[in-house]
């Protein structure tokens, strides 16, 4: 089982890498994407409306919102119209590679759990692997319901490749039992909630980054990353998706932190002791609360809120990697 | 707004000076009102949230006294110039610092200022009926003209779960106004209020709570009683006196550790008998990691464990003493190092006191005797080095019981005596002066944390309320719908989402469909 798990990790990583490259290829060689074209043709009338100052403007689709009625899936449009571009297969192939990678990933995690005879959250390797596996599943689920955000796949796969790569190459730990400190039913509750919310935050954070790239491009930025902002469509839909994922993740994160506090009371005698992990969990919580406030305040720009969300994700990463590597605390059984 | 009001109130030139005082009062009042409005604005709340996040960072970078005092001392030793400066800035007590408190108190003030009017508004909203239908329903984000006659009773039935008001107009028109989603605001207020509950709980806990640490060696003569004198370290809340501590004693009767073949721990359990002066015996208890011992008014947590070698020393005059010396461990296989001191050896001659510094290896079959092979006592070995001289115990300077006094060693007042010696359990080593030391065996020791926090139930209540309020607030959707039934049998409907709600169109359509049936 352990060997199967380790072998499938390689399949996972290679599939994600392929998916990322295919997504990137779609940006590079796609005919600016059917989506982008549709958006470009929409942009003109929308601006006219702005100029006319009609009260309906706020109801008009955003300049780069995809029309929701027409088939926005390249494959579907290609099959129907027969006008499929030569690079049109890249996007669907990227999704196929993602599905393959996610399947291998989930089996990697499950077989790891079977080999260890416990939940596969026992050390940093398993923890990162579980977050990313759930992240892929959440991403595919999102894609199933909202085909038009497929472009987001590049950013999600970038995160997946980086995190799974680091897990496999740096954090790898052979299968082992839980140390007594972790042997509690709070283990599953607390870490399960943290993993779930982390993976949601990951996909949501990727969406915020994509939104920022696009809005940056619209504001005339052409530097690294911003350069291909012009090829990103559906920024509004992606921003809305980001908010909904964050709003879904935040209560789970809150629950995870609360469960951690209850467990800390049982294990160490205090529910909160400002251990470095606790400090950074607090910081992430406060930053994400800030995001929700910013998002709910009409006078604050959506891109400002998106920046806060990205900072939130950075604090999560700091907690995951930084705290385990730089600080020692009661949570130091990460296995690094 | 208040700023401009104050400016507008400027009186015309040549106003008599006696009006200055009221003007000043008005200006101060306006400034205060303006400040309050600023403080309770969402932007300020956002800034304060950010400040709070940033202010929390140093506490994870710098060692904190409340987390581990030894780390602070180590930091002082490594950065003798920087440390006092940081200390003056509360760098080692970030979460108790005035600047950290200033941020969260401002934030909570802002919070109170924010939720109080909203509580009032929401209470009012709960009592006021949804307003009547606007004249032109087709102007609303959702509207429909119903083409079949609508039965009013059936329409009302379709609005079950909505707060519905029926209004009859002079011309015979009937309107139904319905609203739903009050729980969103209620949840939001509950959630924000629960933050205050948590703050109160934390405050109570820090005033009336206390904690202490203690190492307990197994054995009836090593009983620990819960008094300040017996703690190794402790912290009492400002409202806790030494006399408020609950009265109980614990004797460690057994400690059981289970390991895998590779030395990884599987489980730890400590057996104790508890007594108190009122009831006597409180019975035998077992507690372990993740399963604390919960006594009346105090919880006892198992933090660590190790071995305490027992040494029997017989000096040249034939006087025998025995000591149990807990050795702290230095690695996961429980290689342990410590000191067994015999200050009363060789009569009252302070220059002939004896001490043995040792490395205890629970499992070691052969040389080098540096590191244990397994944390369990499978083949214990004790490397002892004898020291003779003045131990420096009565110099009045607190010294660690786990180390020899380095100053005495440096000054040559305490000297190594003979060569180091490997000992197995039961062996006796005869020193040059004819005195003997016997390695009798070992006892287990544990370290425990003893705590009491009366704020806990309040904080937990706050956390539960928070978790109830949060989803209500985040996923609730406030919306209104109207149905106008005209006497001629025609009908029109309109809908208004009052919060972001992408699915409202679908909900409205399905409502209209049910009305038309
Ligand atoms: C201790 C500090 C605070 C924390 C941790 C906090 C946290 C949160 C969170 C997590 C939400 C999201 C839930 C939701 O969207 O309904 C929220 C919403 C909200 N908060 Fe706060 N909050 C704090 C202080 C404040 C303050 C000071 C104000 C007033 C200025 C405020 C006003 C609001 C409002 C109006 C919403 C609703 C936003 C919406 O319409 O969705 N909060 N808060």
DSSP line for A19-55? HHHHHHHHHHHSSSHHHHHHHHHHHHHHHHHHHHT-G
CB B451 within 8 A of CB B210: yes
CA–CA gap between residue A200 and residue A257 (Å, rounded): 15
Rounding to the nearest 10 degrees, give the CA dihedral for residues A289, A291, A293, A294: 160
Cα four-point dihedral sign B15, B21, B25, B27: positive
CA–CA gap between residue B461 and residue A262 (Å, rounded): 12
User: Which pLDDT score, from 0 to 100, does residue A219 have?
Assistant: 84
CA–CA gap between residue B467 and residue B475 (Å, rounded): 13
How many Å from the N-terminal Cα to the C-terminal Cα in chain B?
52
C-beta atoms of A183 and B290 within 8 A: yes
**Which tokens hold the place of B395?**
């110099």
C-beta atoms of A254 and B46 within 8 A: no
Give B192 Cα–ligand 1 centroid separation in angstroms: 7
CA–CA gap between residue A249 and residue A247 (Å, rounded): 6
CA–CA gap between residue B30 and residue B318 (Å, rounded): 89
Count of other CB atoms within 10 angstroms of residue B452 = 23
Give A292 Cα–ligand 1 centroid separation in angstroms: 7
CB B443 within 8 A of CB B400: no
The C-alpha of B148 sits at a distance from chain A's nearest C-alpha, in angstroms, of 29
Residue B144's contacts (CB-CB under 8 Å, 6 or more residues apart) are B492, B493, B494, B508, B509, B512
pLDDT in tens, chain A (336 residues): 778 888 899 999 999 999 999 998 888 776 554 444 444 444 433 333 333 333 333 333 333 333 333 333 443 333 333 345 667 788 899 999 999 999 999 999 999 999 988 888 888 899 999 999 999 999 999 999 988 888 899 999 999 999 999 999 888 888 877 777 787 889 999 999 999 999 999 999 999 999 999 998 888 888 777 877 777 777 888 999 999 999 999 999 999 999 999 999 998 888 998 988 999 999 999 999 999 999 998 889 999 999 999 999 999 999 988 887 777 655 554 443
User: Which pLDDT score, from 0 to 100, does residue B505 have?
Assistant: 92
Give strand ranges (E) for B117-228.
142-146, 163-168, 174-180, 210-217, 224-225
CA–CA gap between residue B506 and residue B26 (Å, rounded): 53
C-beta atoms of B49 and A297 within 8 A: no
CB A109 within 8 A of CB A301: no
- B95 at interface of A, judged by CB pairs closer than 8 A: yes
User: Which pLDDT score, from 0 to 100, does residue B411 have?
Assistant: 85
Rounding to the nearest 10 degrees, give the CA dihedral for residues B136, B142, B145, B149: -110
- Whole-structure pTM value: 0.85
Nearest to B67 among A186, A267, A273 (CB): A273
Angle at A257 between CA B269 and CA B196, to 5 degrees: 115
Residues in chain B: 517
Three-state SS for B517?
Answer: coil
Give the C-alpha distances (Å, rounded to integers) separating B233 from B211, B491, B511.
9, 78, 67
Chain A with chain B: Cβ pairs closer than 8 A: 117
CA–CA gap between residue B354 and residue B494 (Å, rounded): 95
- B59 at interface of A, judged by CB pairs closer than 8 A: yes
- A188 at interface of B, judged by CB pairs closer than 8 A: no
- B251 at interface of A, judged by CB pairs closer than 8 A: no
**Which tokens hold the place of B307?**
């071995």
- Name all residues whose Cβ lies below 6 A of ligand 1: A 289, 292-293, 296; B 40, 42, 45, 107, 110-111, 114, 188, 192, 195, 473-474
Q: How many CA atoms lie within 13 A of A218 on its CB side?
A: 16
CA–CA gap between residue B294 and residue B279 (Å, rounded): 17
Give the C-alpha distances (Å, rounded to integers) separating A61 from A162, A236, A300, B508.
35, 9, 20, 21
CB A299 within 8 A of CB A247: no
* pLDDT tier for residue B104 given thresholds of 50, 70 and 90: very high
Residues in chain A: 336
Give A304 Cα–ligand 1 centroid separation in angstroms: 17
Name the H helices within B128-181: 152-158
Count of other CB atoms within 10 angstroms of residue A323 = 22
Nearest to B290 among A266, A315, A329 (CB): A266
Give the C-alpha distances (Å, rounded to integers) separating A336 from A85, A176, A179, B63.
48, 14, 15, 21
- Looking at chain B, the whole-number percentage of residues with pLDDT higher than 90 is 63
B431 burial type by CB count under 10 A (0-12 exposed, 13-18 middle, 19+ buried): middle
A97 burial type by CB count under 10 A (0-12 exposed, 13-18 middle, 19+ buried): buried
Contact list in A for residue B211 (CB cut-off 8 A) is 269-270
- A314 at interface of B, judged by CB pairs closer than 8 A: no
Cα four-point dihedral sign A218, A221, A226, A228: positive
- Helix and strand element counts for chain A (H, E): 12, 0
CB B232 within 8 A of CB B213: yes
Residue B459's contacts (CB-CB under 8 Å, 6 or more residues apart) are A271, B197, B198, B201, B202, B205
Count of other CB atoms within 10 angstroms of residue B131 = 12
Give B470 Cα–ligand 1 centroid separation in angstroms: 10
Phi, psi torsion values for A334, nearest 5 degrees: -65, -25
CA–CA gap between residue A318 and residue A168 (Å, rounded): 19
CA–CA gap between residue B455 and residue B237 (Å, rounded): 12
Three-state SS for B59?
Answer: helix
CA–CA gap between residue A16 and residue A133 (Å, rounded): 11
Chain A segment 241-270 residues within 8 A of B by beta carbon are: 247, 250-251, 254-255, 258, 261-263, 265-270
What is chain B's mean pLDDT, rounded?
89
Q: Residue B502 above 50 pLDDT?
A: yes
Q: How many CA atoms lie within 13 A of A96 on its CB side?
A: 7
Angle at A317 between CA A152 and CA B92, to 5 degrees: 155
B430 burial type by CB count under 10 A (0-12 exposed, 13-18 middle, 19+ buried): exposed
- Helix and strand element counts for chain B (H, E): 12, 21
Which tens digit of pLDDT belongs to each residue from B356-415? 999 999 999 888 888 999 999 999 999 999 999 888 877 656 567 788 888 888 888 888
User: Which pLDDT score, from 0 to 100, does residue A141 have?
Assistant: 96
CB A206 within 8 A of CB A159: yes
Rounding to the nearest 10 degrees, give the CA dihedral for residues A219, A221, A226, A229: 40
CA–CA gap between residue B118 and residue B192 (Å, rounded): 11
CB B259 within 8 A of CB A173: no
- Looking at chain B, the whole-number percentage of residues with pLDDT higher than 70 is 95
The DSSP bridge partners found for residue B421 are B384
Cis peptide before A186 (omega within 30 of 0): no
CA–CA gap between residue B145 and residue B168 (Å, rounded): 19
Residue with tokens 């009926």: B129
Which tens digit of pLDDT belongs to each residue from B251-275? 999 999 998 888 888 889 999 999 9
Phi, psi torsion values for B270, nearest 5 degrees: -115, 130
Give B385 Cα–ligand 1 centroid separation in angstroms: 65
CA–CA gap between residue A300 and residue B46 (Å, rounded): 10
CA–CA gap between residue B203 and residue B453 (Å, rounded): 10
User: Which pLDDT score, from 0 to 100, does residue A63 have?
Assistant: 36
The DSSP bridge partners found for residue B175 are B167, B484
User: Which pLDDT score, from 0 to 100, does residue A331 have?
Assistant: 59
Residue A99's contacts (CB-CB under 8 Å, 6 or more residues apart) are A140
User: Which pLDDT score, from 0 to 100, does residue A71 have?
Assistant: 34
Chain centre distance of CA A130:
13
Which tens digit of pLDDT belongs to each residue from B1-44? 333 333 333 434 444 455 567 788 999 999 999 888 888 888 88
Three-state SS for B62?
Answer: coil
Residue B28's contacts (CB-CB under 8 Å, 6 or more residues apart) are none
C-beta atoms of B470 and A274 within 8 A: no
| Domain spans of chain A, in order of start | 2-32+67-71+91-326
User: Which pLDDT score, from 0 to 100, does residue A85 have?
Assistant: 61
Count of other CB atoms within 10 angstroms of residue A145 = 8
Chain B segment 134-193 residues within 8 A of A by beta carbon are: 141
CA–CA gap between residue B298 and residue B394 (Å, rounded): 35
ipTM metric: 0.85
CB B329 within 8 A of CB B313: no
CA–CA gap between residue B320 and residue B346 (Å, rounded): 10
């Amino acid at each position: 089982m352990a060997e199967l798990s380790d072998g499938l990790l390689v399949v996972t990583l290679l599939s994600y890498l392929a998916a990322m490259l295919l997504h990137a290829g779609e940006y590079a060689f796609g005919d600016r994407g059917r989506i982008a074209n549709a958006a470009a043709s929409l942009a003109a009338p929308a601006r006219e409306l702005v100029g006319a100052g009609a009260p309906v403007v706020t109801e008009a689709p955003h300049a780069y919102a995809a029309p929701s009625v027409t088939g926005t899936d390249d494959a579907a449009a290609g099959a129907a119209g027969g006008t499929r571009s030569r690079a049109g297969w890249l996007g669907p192939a990227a999704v196929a590679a993602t599905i393959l990678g996610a399947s291998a990933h989930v089996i990697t995690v499950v077989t790891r759990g079977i080999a260890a005879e416990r939940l596969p959250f026992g050390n940093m390797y398993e923890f990162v692997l579980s977050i990313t596996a759930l992240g892929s599943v959440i991403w595919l689920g999102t894609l199933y319901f909202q085909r038009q955000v497929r472009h987001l796949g590049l950013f999600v796969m970038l995160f997946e490749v980086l995190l799974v790569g680091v897990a496999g190459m740096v954090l790898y730990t052979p299968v082992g039992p839980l140390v007594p400190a972790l042997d509690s039913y709070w283990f599953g509750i607390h870490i399960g909630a943290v993993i779930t919310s982390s993976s949601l935050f990951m996909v949501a954070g990727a969406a915020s980054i994509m939104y920022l790239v696009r809005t940056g491009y619209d504001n005339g930025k052409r530097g690294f990353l911003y350069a291909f902002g012009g090829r990103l469509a559906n920024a509004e839909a992606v921003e809305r998706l980001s908010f909904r994922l964050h709003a879904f993740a935040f209560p789970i994160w809150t629950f995870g932190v609360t469960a951690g506090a209850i467990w800390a009371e049982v294990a160490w005698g205090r529910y909160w002791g400002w251990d470095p992990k606790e400090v950074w969990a607090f910081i992430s919580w406060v930053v994400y609360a800030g995001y929700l406030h910013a998002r709910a305040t009409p006078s604050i720009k959506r891109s400002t809120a998106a920046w806060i969300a990205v900072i939130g994700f950075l604090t999560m990463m700091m907690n995951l990697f930084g705290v385990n590597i730089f600080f020692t605390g009661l949570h130091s059984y990460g296995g690094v | 707004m208040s700023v401009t009001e104050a400016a507008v109130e400027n009186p015309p030139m040549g106003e008599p000076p006696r009006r200055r005082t009221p003007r000043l009062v008005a200006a101060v009042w306006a400034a205060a009102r303006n400040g309050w409005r600023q403080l309770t604005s969402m932007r300020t709340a956002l800034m304060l949230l950010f400040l709070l996040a940033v202010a929390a960072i140093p506490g994870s970078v710098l060692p904190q006294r409340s987390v581990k005092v030894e780390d602070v001392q180590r930091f002082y030793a490594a950065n003798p110039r920087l440390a006092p400066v940081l200390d003056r800035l509360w760098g080692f007590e970030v979460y108790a610092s005035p600047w950290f408190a200033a941020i969260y108190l401002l934030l909570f003030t802002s919070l109170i200022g924010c939720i109080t009017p909203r509580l009032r508004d929401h209470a009012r909203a709960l009592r006021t009926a949804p307003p009547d239908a606007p004249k032109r329903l087709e102007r609303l984000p959702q509207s429909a003209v119903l083409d079949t006659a609508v039965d009013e009773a059936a329409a009302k039935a379709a609005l079950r779960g909505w707060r519905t008001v029926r209004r009859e107009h002079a011309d015979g028109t009937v309107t139904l106004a319905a609203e739903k989603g009050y729980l969103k605001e209620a949840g939001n207020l509950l959630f924000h209020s629960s933050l205050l509950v948590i703050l109160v709980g934390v405050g109570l806990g820090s005033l009336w709570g206390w904690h202490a640490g203690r190492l307990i060696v197994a054995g009836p003569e090593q009983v620990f009683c819960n008094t300040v004198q017996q703690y190794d370290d402790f912290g009492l809340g400002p409202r806790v006196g030494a006399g408020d501590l609950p009265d109980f004693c614990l004797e460690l009767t057994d400690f059981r550790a289970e390991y895998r073949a590779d030395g990884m721990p599987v489980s730890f359990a400590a057996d104790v008998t508890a007594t108190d002066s009122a009831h006597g015996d409180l019975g035998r208890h077992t507690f372990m990691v993740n399963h604390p011992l919960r006594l009346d008014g105090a919880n006892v947590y198992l933090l660590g464990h190790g071995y305490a070698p027992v040494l029997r020393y017989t000096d040249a005059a034939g006087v025998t003493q025995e000591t149990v010396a807990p050795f702290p461990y230095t690695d996961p296989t429980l290689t342990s190092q410590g000191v067994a001191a015999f200050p009363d050896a060789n009569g009252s001659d302070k220059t002939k006191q004896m001490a043995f510094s040792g490395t205890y290896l629970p499992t070691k079959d052969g040389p080098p005797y540096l590191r244990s092979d397994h944390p369990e006592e499978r083949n214990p070995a004790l490397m002892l080095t004898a020291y003779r001289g003045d131990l420096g115990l009565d110099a009045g300077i607190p010294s660690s019981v786990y180390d020899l006094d380095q100053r005495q060693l440096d000054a040559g007042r305490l000297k190594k005596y003979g060569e180091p010696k490997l000992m197995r359990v039961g062996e006796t080593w005869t020193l040059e002066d004819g005195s003997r030391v016997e390695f009798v065996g070992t006892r287990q020791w544990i370290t425990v944390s003893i705590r009491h926090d009366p704020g806990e139930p309040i904080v937990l209540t706050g956390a539960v309320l928070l978790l109830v309020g949060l989803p209500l607030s985040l996923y609730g959707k406030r919306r209104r719908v109207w149905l106008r039934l005209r006497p001629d049998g025609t009908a029109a409907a309109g809908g208004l989402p009052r919060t972001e709600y992408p699915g409202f169109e679908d909900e409205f359509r399905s409502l209209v469909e049910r009305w038309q049936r």
